[in-house]
Amino acid sequence: MLARAAVAVWLALAAVSAAPAIEPPAVSRSVSTSRQFVVYGDDMLLRGAVCDLAERTKQILLRAIASSDEWKTPIVINAQRRQANAPEAPGAQLVFGQTGDGPKLQLDLAVSSDVHPESLQRELLKALLVELTYRQEPNIPPGKAYVIPPAWLIDGLLAQQTRRQDISDVLAALAAGNRAVSLAQFLEQHPGTPGTQSHALYSAYAVAALELITNAPDGRQRLRALISDLRNAPNDALADLVVHFPVLATNGGPEAAWRRELARFATRDAYRLLSVAETEEALDSLLEIALPSELGSETRCRLDSLPAKLDRAEKVALQRRSEELLVFGSRANPVYRPIVQEYQELATSIAHGRTRGERERFARVRQWREQLHLRMSRVDDYLNWYEATQARSASGVFAEYLRTASVTTETLRRRDPISVYLDAIEAQVDRD
C-alpha cells in the first residue's frame, strides 16, 4: 500500500510539472506622465482621465510654490465606478502609512457620472500636499496619524485658477459693506459644503489669504517651507503664518495686511470693461441721486426728475455725480458710452443752471437706451440659439445649466435595501 501511494504521489507531481504554468491575471493599471501617479481600475478611459487630471492638479501646486517636480513617494490611486449596491460608500479616502519599502500613499476614488472634476482635484491636491509635507521624513512610525493640509490652502489653490472674477465680486461686496471677517477668524473656519454660498465665500477668503502670502518677498519659496513644516505646525494657524512670513508682522501686523489685501481685491478690477447687463445695472444706480436738504437729511430722486430749482449743496452733489459718470464711461460697455456721455453732459448742464431743452434731451436719450437694450437682447438671443443649434463646439457657458437640467429630469431612485439590490441586478442583466 505504501508503494502504491508513493507511485500515486509521483504521478501527481509529474502531471503538475508537465502541465502549463497558470499565469496570474493581468492587473489593469495606468501610469501618469511624471510616473508619480499609478492608477488602478477596470475602466481604461477612467484611468486615463484620472492620470490627466492628477498631472494638471500637480502643475497648479508646482506653480504656486515655484518648484520643479521632485517627487519621492508615488501616489497609488484606485479609481472605480461607484456601484449601485454601495451608495453610501465614501467618494474618496486617503490612506497614508509605512511599509517595508518606505511611505505609502493610496487614494481610493469612487467616481460617479455626475462627479465634478474640482471635487476630484481637491482629493488629489490633498494627497500631493501630504507627499510634500512628509518628503523629508521617510521613516514614519507605523500607526502615526498624518497631518491633514489646511482647507484654506486647498481651496485657495483651486479657486485661484477657476473663479477669479466671482471672487473679486464677492470680496468687493464684503469690503463695501465692511463685513469681512478677520484673518484669525477665517483660518479657524470650516469650508462648508461645496456648491453653497458659504463655501463660495470661504473660497474667496482662501484666495485672498493665498495671494497675501505669495505676493510677499520670497512668498512662493516660503509657502513651500510652510507646507514642508506642516507636520510640526502649532495649533495657532495665524502664528504659524507669521513665523514663515515675517513681513506680516510689520506695518500694523497681520490683520492690517489682511485688510489691505481685501481692499486690493475689491479694486483690482476697476478698469475691467463691464458687460451690457452690468452697464445697465450700474447706470441705473448712477442715475439715482441723493440730494442733501437743509435739515441734514437726504432726498433721493432720478436725474431726469430733478426739481426745477436747486440750492448750492444740491448743485455740488449733482456736479459730483457728473464726475462719477465721466469716470464710469471708461468702464461702461463700449456701445453704451455715448449714452453715458449724454447723461454726464446733462448732469453738468443742470448743475450750472443751464436747463433749456433738458426734458427733450432726457426723452431722446431714454428712447435711445431702450432701443439699444432691445437690440442687445436680440443679439444675445441669437447667439444663444446659434450655440444651441448650429455651433459645432460648445463654449461651456451652458454647461452648469445642462448638468442641472439632466439631474432634475432623471427619475429619482429609491435608496432602500430592496431597491438598491434590484438596481444592481438590473445593471448586471444589462451588462450580460
Is residue 400 scored above 90 in pLDDT? no
Query: What are 336-385's pLDDT values in tens digits?
Result: 889 998 988 888 888 888 878 888 888 898 899 899 888 888 888 887 77
Contacting residues for 238 by C-beta, under 8 A, at least 6 apart:
183, 184, 187, 254
pLDDT of 93 strictly over 90:
no
* pLDDT in the model for residue 15: 42
Beta strands (DSSP E) in 165-307 are 288-292, 298-302
The per-residue pLDDT for range 193-233, each reduced to its tens digit, is 777 778 888 888 999 899 899 988 888 999 999 999 998 88
Same structural domain, 283 and 230: no
Domain assignment of residue 422, given as a range: 402-431
Indicate if 174 and 258 belong to the same structural domain: yes
pLDDT tens, residue by residue, 10-21 = 444 344 344 444
Note whether 34 and 116 are same-domain residues.
yes
Is there a contact between 309 and 318 (Cβ–Cβ < 8 Å)?
Answer: no
Q: Residue 19's pLDDT is what? A: 40
Judge if 192 and 300 occupy the same domain: no
Domain endpoint, select from 210, 234, 267: 267
Number of residues in the chain: 432
pLDDT at 354: 83
Over residues 252-270, the pLDDT tens digits come to: 889 988 988 887 776 655 5
15-29, 167-181, 355-369, 407-421: least confident range: 15-29
Residue 301: φ, ψ to 5°: -150, 165
| pLDDT, tens only, 270-307 | 556 778 887 888 888 888 887 776 555 667 788 888 87
Total domains in the fold of the chain: 4
Same domain, 162 and 260: yes
Q: Do the domain assignments include residue 249?
A: yes
Looking at 244, 267, 290, the residue that finishes a domain is 267
Same domain, 184 and 285: no
Spatial contact of 134 and 72, defined as CB atoms under 8 Å apart: no
Say whether both 114 and 155 belong to one domain. no
Region 87-91 average pLDDT: 64
Cell of 405: 437640467
Residue 327 pLDDT: 75
